[in-house]
Amino acid sequence: MAISYNGLWKLLIDKSMNKTDLMNEVKLSSGTIAKMSKGEPVSMLVLEKICDKLDCDFGDLVHYEREKVGDRLE
């Protein structure tokens, strides 16, 4: 299983923000930002706080990418 936060990173660019701005405005820890940067899961509460601040939906932030094993997706 792979989680992509590319939508969030693109949204930050569109809003002229960086990860530090997001961390400060949403009151996220550097560990949470690090997890997201590595494509690791974070809590729904974290995503909810980000959505509230950036006026968006979960689908704007995160995308599930299936991992390819051989010739098939798992």
| Strand partners of residue 2 | 65
Amino acid at 58: F
Output the pLDDT for position 70: 67
In contact, 67 and 2? CB cutoff 8 Å: yes
Q: Is the pLDDT of residue 72 over 90?
A: no
pLDDT at 23: 97
Q: What is the pTM of this model?
A: 0.84
What pLDDT, on the 0 to 100 scale, is given for residue 49?
Answer: 97
Domains and CATH numbers, the chain: 2-68 (1.10.260.40)
> Average of pLDDT values for 10-21?
97
Q: Which residues contact 70 (CB under 8 A, 6 or more apart)?
A: none
pLDDT digits (tens, 9 = 90+) for 16-65: 999 999 999 999 999 999 999 999 999 999 999 999 999 999 999 999 98
